[in-house]
């Protein structure tokens, strides 16, 4: 398994819809960041699925180092 690629040094602010399942890109290879497009097949990593509990703006990790994946926990501030 390789290390994930940092796609940006900060979170992605995205709107999610209640009840919908999303797949966050954990490898950094996706062209549709922060979401998975299937590019992980070359990395050996799998996307992180999450179901939106309510319709709202969420902050998804862009540096791929969060301890609370897929959500940003501020880990990018230490990079």
pLDDT digits 0-9 by tens, 19-40: 999 999 999 999 999 999 999 8
Q: Give the strand pairing for 21-24 and 48-51.
A: antiparallel
Nearest to 23 by CA among 1, 12, 43, 38: 38
For 1-11, the pLDDT digits (tens) are 578 999 999 99
Residue 25 to residue 32: CA distance in whole angstroms? 9
pTM for the whole thing?
0.92
């Amino acid at each position: 398994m390789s290390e994930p690629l940092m796609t940006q040094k900060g979170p992605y602010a995205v709107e999610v819809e209640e009840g919908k399942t999303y797949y966050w890109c954990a490898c950094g290879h996706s062209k549709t960041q922060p979401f998975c497009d299937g590019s992980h097949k070359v990395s050996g990593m799998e996307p992180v699925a999450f179901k939106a509990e309510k319709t709202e703006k969420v902050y998804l990790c862009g540096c791929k180092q969060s301890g609370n994946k897929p959500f940003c926990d501020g880990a990018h501030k230490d990079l």
